[in-house]
């Protein structure tokens, strides 16, 4: 509803406030007057009237002609398809590349996801006022700079979808590996919201492989959440998770989506490959059954579309499972330059050194990783690993 109002009046604040007023009126009246036969249309009509009232109130001296135009625009309530289009436009506007990434995330959660400002502020550990200002500033830029409510042209669409998916992936990851000293290690509200929005985009763009890929990736990651943090608040690594706790329904859906992409025969992008890797992991109900050579092959493919050192690090871990820790350590050590400030680099290295029996070097690695890790459960896990080194005997 906010989307279609925004399109009609070209003003996000107005759209949001009128929609809120319409809901408030409904809450007031429906219990007494009964629910109208078509509640959706009732709300839309009411919100439209509220918007026009607002325009009247706020622009008393506005040109009568302009107002008259607005009033005689008797659009029938929009059919579902058009509302979907409006929503899609709104998503592309919220994720516009001319906005800062943090503003895109905030706007998307606020306007597309319908989260409140306090909820978003809590999700990202910033003050409510800061978050409100961030949103106001972004809306101001949309209006003043002429950022359009439009699905991008075919030429720009792939890039812009990538931008939308990046926003959703960021929301998901912040929920999945929450940072901050005193927060829950996993914030399920954020992961759930990211999945809900990705589902919505998949409904709107069912043919886009990367949208499907990202949804599959999120589902297969979310499926492991119940096994991911121990009762004592420690992160449990994939190999040690109690796989019976995994959510079988989510895994089943994720696998179906991955198969759908494989059957399409189209060259997979980054999210589809990450989803495929997660499908291999979740295919093994015992960690020992993991098809690691398949994982390495998928990382090889991923490196061709995403040459980031983080992909190389994850590939090295898989190599360690196939060829042993020596080969993996050689590959990991080559990544020191770009990844020296990244906790997972030191944690991976420490893990390999531990397996090779190089305890003192492993200890240094764990300590560096603990220093750099932002997630409480991850830190607890690394600390236990480090302390485990000590008790198993220093010569």
Partner 1 sequence: MQYLVSVIDHRTNSGTPEEAIAIDAFNDRLRAGGHWVFAAGLADPSTATVIDGRGDEPVFTDGPFIESKEHMAGLWIIEAPDLDVALSLMADGSKACNRRLEVRPLLGPED
Residues of this chain that interact with partner 1 (CB under 8 A) are: 96, 98, 144-148, 150, 152, 156
- Using N-to-C axis directions, what is the helix angle for 248-264 and 209-222, rounded to 10°? 160
Cα 53 from chain centre: 37
Complete DSSP assignment for 251-294: HHHHHHHHHHHHHH-PPP-HHHHHHHHHHHHHH-SSGGG--HHH
Q: What is the spatial distance between Cα 243 and Cα 384, in angstroms, rounded to a whole number?
A: 21
Least CB distance from residue 127 to partner 1, whole Å? Answer: 29
235 three-state secondary structure: strand
Least CB distance from residue 155 to partner 1, whole Å? Answer: 8
User: Which of 32/144 has CB closer to partner 1?
Assistant: 144
Angle at CA of residue 344, ends 339 and 349, nearest 5°? 85
Q: What is the spatial distance between Cα 186 and Cα 173, in angstroms, rounded to a whole number?
A: 9
Q: Give the gyration radius of the chain's Cα atoms.
A: 25
Least CB distance from residue 366 to partner 1, whole Å? Answer: 43
User: Which of 96/270 has CB closer to partner 1?
Assistant: 96
User: Which of 144/249 has CB closer to partner 1?
Assistant: 144
User: Which of 146/393 has CB closer to partner 1?
Assistant: 146
Q: What is the spatial distance between Cα 217 and Cα 260, in angstroms, rounded to a whole number?
A: 13
User: Which of 7/315 has CB closer to partner 1?
Assistant: 7
Q: What is the spatial distance between Cα 88 and Cα 102, in angstroms, rounded to a whole number?
A: 20
Contact 313, 302 (CB under 8 A): no
- Kindly tell me the burial class for residue 352, based on how many C-beta atoms sit within 10 Å of its own C-beta (0-12, 13-18, 19 or more): buried
Q: What is the spatial distance between Cα 390 and Cα 56, in angstroms, rounded to a whole number?
A: 74
Complete DSSP assignment for 334-389: TTHHHHTT-HHHHHHHHHHHHHTT-HHHHHHHHHHHHHH---HHHHHHHHHHHHHH
User: Which of 65/394 has CB closer to partner 1?
Assistant: 65
User: Which of 97/180 has CB closer to partner 1?
Assistant: 97
Least CB distance from residue 167 to partner 1, whole Å? Answer: 17
Cα distances from 124 to residues 17, 91, 180, 190, 350, in angstroms, run 24, 20, 9, 9, 30
Least CB distance from residue 72 to partner 1, whole Å? Answer: 21
User: Which of 150/304 has CB closer to partner 1?
Assistant: 150
Least CB distance from residue 12 to partner 1, whole Å? Answer: 15
User: Which of 23/149 has CB closer to partner 1?
Assistant: 149
Least CB distance from residue 151 to partner 1, whole Å? Answer: 11
Least CB distance from residue 97 to partner 1, whole Å? Answer: 8
Least CB distance from residue 271 to partner 1, whole Å? Answer: 25
Beta bridge partners of 229: 235
User: Which of 98/245 has CB closer to partner 1?
Assistant: 98
User: Which of 160, 146, 141 is CA-nearest to residue 96?
Assistant: 160
User: Which of 3/350 has CB closer to partner 1?
Assistant: 3
Long-range CB contacts (< 8 A, 24+ apart) of 298-304? Answer: 298/273, 301/268, 301/273, 302/270, 302/273, 302/274, 302/277
Least CB distance from residue 99 to partner 1, whole Å? Answer: 10
Least CB distance from residue 51 to partner 1, whole Å? Answer: 18
């Amino acid at each position: 509803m906010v989307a279609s109002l925004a399109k009609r009046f070209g003003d996000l604040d107005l759209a949001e406030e009128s929609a809120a007023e319409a809901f408030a009126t409904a809450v007031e009246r429906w219990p007494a007057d009964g629910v109208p036969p078509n509640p959706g249309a009732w709300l839309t009509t009411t919100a439209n009237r509220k918007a026009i009232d607002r325009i009247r109130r706020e622009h008393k001296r506005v040109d009568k002609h302009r107002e008259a135009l607005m009033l005689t625009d008797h659009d029938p309530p929009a059919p579902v398809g058009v509302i979907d289009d409006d929503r899609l436009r709104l998503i592309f506007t919220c994720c516009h590349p001319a906005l800062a990434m943090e503003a895109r995330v905030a706007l998307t959660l606020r306007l597309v996801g319908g989260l409140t400002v306090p909820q978003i502020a809590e999700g990202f550990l910033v003050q409510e006022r800061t978050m409100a200002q961030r949103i106001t500033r972004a809306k101001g830029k949309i209006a003043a700079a002429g950022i359009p409510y439009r699905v991008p042209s075919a030429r720009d669409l792939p890039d812009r979808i990538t931008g939308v998916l990046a926003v959703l992936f960021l929301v998901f990851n912040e929920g999945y590996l929450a940072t901050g000293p005193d927060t829950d290690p996993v914030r399920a509200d954020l992961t759930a919201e990211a999945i809900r929005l990705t589902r919505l985009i998949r409904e709107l763009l069912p043919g886009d492989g990367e949208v499907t890929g990202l949804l599959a990736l999120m589902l297969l990651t979310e499926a492991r959440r119940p096994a991911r943090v121990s009762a004592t608040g420690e992160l449990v690594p994939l190999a040690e998770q109690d796989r019976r706790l995994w959510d079988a329904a989510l895994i089943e859906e994720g696998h179906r989506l991955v198969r759908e992409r494989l059957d399409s025969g189209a060259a997979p992008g980054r999210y589809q490959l990450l989803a495929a890797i997660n499908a291999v992991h979740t295919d093994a109900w015992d960690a020992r059954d993991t098809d690691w050579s398949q994982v390495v092959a998928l990382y090889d493919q991923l490196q061709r579309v995403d040459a980031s050192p983080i992909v190389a690090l994850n590939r090295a871990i898989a190599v360690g499972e196939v060829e042993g820790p020596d080969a993996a350590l050689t590959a990991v050590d080559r990544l020191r330059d770009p990844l020296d400030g990244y906790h997972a680099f030191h944690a991976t290295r420490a893990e390999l050194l531990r397996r090779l029996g190089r305890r003192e070097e492993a200890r240094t690695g764990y300590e560096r990783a603990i220093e750099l890790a932002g997630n409480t459960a991850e830190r607890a896990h690394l600390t236990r690993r480090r302390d485990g080194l000590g008790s198993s005997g220093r010569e």
